[in-house]
Amino acid sequence: MPDISFQQDIDRYRALRIAPQGLFIDGQVMPAARGATLDTVSPIDGQTLTTIADGDTVDIDRAVAAARAAFERGVWSCTAPAQRKKVLLRFAELIEAHALELAVLGVRDNGTEIGMAYKAEPLSAATTIRYYAEAIDKVYGEVAPTAPQTLALMLREPLGVVGVIVPWNFPLMIGAWKIGPALAAGNSVVVKPPEIASLSLLRLAQLASEAGLPDGVLNVVTGRGSTAGEALGLHMDVDAIAFTGSGAVGRRLLEYSGRSNLKRVYLELGGKSPNIVFADVPDIKNAAKVSANGIFRNSGQVCVAGSRLLVQSSVYDRFLDELMTVTARLKIGDPLDLGSDIGAVSSATQLQKNLAFVARTEQEGGRLLCGGDRLHVETGGYYMAPAVFADVAPEMTLAREEVFGPVLAVMRFETEEEAVRLANATPYGLASAVWTSNLSTAHRMIKAIRAGVVHVNTYGGADITVPLGGFKQSGFGRDKSLHALNEYTDLKTAWIVL
Ligand code: NAD
């Protein structure tokens, strides 16, 4: 049941006018050097919300110079971890204090349903910042077991300037996964937000400043991927790029690194994750409900979405019936209405891409059971009915390529070996799930599936203590957990003769 007072607060934030946004460099809000701007269009109604600065190479140069200068001054990089912790804890508190404001701002920008956005964006970002704040004064160096006449120390040092490039589906959550450990480790950061959803990250940087983060340590340059993003990737004074987004851009970033200063590149890319239901699935109704959420929440715009549903033959029809029942009940509509289960697709381009995928799958012989069409055209917004395709063959495009929209491919299998073969038959390896009552089956599948995470009897559970990242072409490097701190530090050895 929607909470009425919460809805009133949401509506209050929704009514706020959003001023044109500048870049955030060296603690100052400023226009792009060339004065260019980009319109920000809301997927809720297709109307222009405001403008953002269209930063380019000159602005990236300014931001990287500010970040480097702050790093060299040592105002953050050379402070005691306990001091960084204090500032980052204040930052996390401020994010929480502004959680609904940030969530509504983000939803107006990218269309995610508010119930999900509130938890997944500001609240999760605050948890992430707090986790790394708490961790950083508990991480020790090491002493190697060398011969008695030498002492070898292994020390972790910040890298310097870290570039962060994120996509539009969860910019705050994904941004915090990179900004949190990078800042905690003492780096300076330059963020390039997604051009269609930059607003919440700009606000986040202001809150960091308010929390006491010194000027120049966290900078945000909005603009296009092909200009601002490329300039960051090619910059000679950026030590690492932490990226989440498409495989195509991931490949470019590796090239940029090779063409410039061999900066480290960490890639969290797409997925085509298998969700595998065995005949001994413990609770078929629950499994169908969780599976529907696992693909359709945020209109399927979730990197770990369970977009390939593999069901064992003997329960195939029953499972599909249950799935269709829960899918039919999903309410698609205004993402700022607490009564909506699913909000808007992030942009007109993304909507067209999804609809084209549906048309192509039908041409290739896919059996469309429901959805796949545009909804609420009269609002001007970008809404789409979740699509379920049954009996998808492994050679169909839908079985192999990521849609990043609310389109589910259902496939049938007979044996465990066939399930493994189908599960691993894409270039991706991000997430997966197995539903079974048999512990041995579960363990065999955990070993056999080539993916960064294998869920068992659920889909999509996560926690900041647990790493996230891909196998194969889903990328490399890990967000979240203490493992992520390694990505933002260099390991130095001190070899001392006694
Ligand atoms: P995208 O790759 O088009 O854009 C991501 C970011 O890269 C944006 O900020 C964009 O401006 C920037 N960019 C674009 N071209 C660039 C260039 N030439 N140089 C540098 N930066 C550039 O992806 P998207 O459309 O925003 O997001 C969807 C994709 O992200 C999907 O493939 C999805 O699977 C993936 N994704 C992965 C994860 C994960 O954790 N693995 C999470 C969310 C999204």
**Structure confidence by residue, pLDDT tens digits, 99-134:** 999 999 999 999 999 999 999 999 999 999 999 999
Atom 20 of ligand 1 has which residue's CA nearest to it? 229
Residues flanking ligand 1, CB < 6 Å: 165-169, 174, 192, 194-195, 225-226, 229-230, 233, 244-246, 249, 252, 268-271, 303, 402, 404, 430, 470
Q: Single out the residue of 97, 95, 117 nearest to residue 106, CA to CA.
A: 117
Over residues 2-6, the mean pLDDT reads 73
Helix, coil or strand: residue 211: coil
Q: Single out the residue of 353, 59, 87, 327 nearest to residue 191, CA to CA.
A: 59
- Quote the CA–CA distance of 202 and 95 in Å, as a whole number: 12
- Model confidence at 452, in pLDDT bands (50, 70, 90)? very high
Delimit the domains of the chain by residue range.
4-269+475-495, 274-463
Strand partners, 275: 309, 433
Say yes or no: domain 274-463 is CATH 1.10.8.60. no
- Model confidence at 416, in pLDDT bands (50, 70, 90)? very high
Atom 8 of ligand 1 has which residue's CA nearest to it? 194
Structural tokens at position 83: 């001091």
Annotated catalytic residue within 113, 268, 322, 402 = 268
Cβ-count burial of 199 within 10 angstroms (0-12 exposed, 13-18 middle, 19+ buried)? buried
Average model confidence (pLDDT) for the chain? 97
Tokens 């209405």 sit at which residue?
Answer: 337
Annotated catalytic residue within 121, 230, 303, 487 = 303
Residue % of the chain over a pLDDT of 70: 99
pLDDT number for residue 378? 98
Ramachandran bin of 299, using left for φ above 0, alpha for ψ from -120 to 50, beta for the remaining angles: left
pLDDT number for residue 264? 98
Please check whether residue 252 is in contact with residue 230, taking contact to mean a CB–CB distance below 8 angstroms. yes
Active-site annotation holds for 370: no
Residue 178 CB neighbour total at 10 angstroms: 30
What fold, for 4-269+475-495?
Answer: Aldehyde Dehydrogenase; Chain A, domain 1 (3.40.605)
Report the separation in Å between the CA atom of 168 and the middle of ligand 1, taken as the mean of its atom positions: 8
Distances from the Cα of 332 to the Cαs of 100, 117, 233, 375, 381, in angstroms?
A: 21, 15, 38, 8, 12
Active-site annotation holds for 78: no
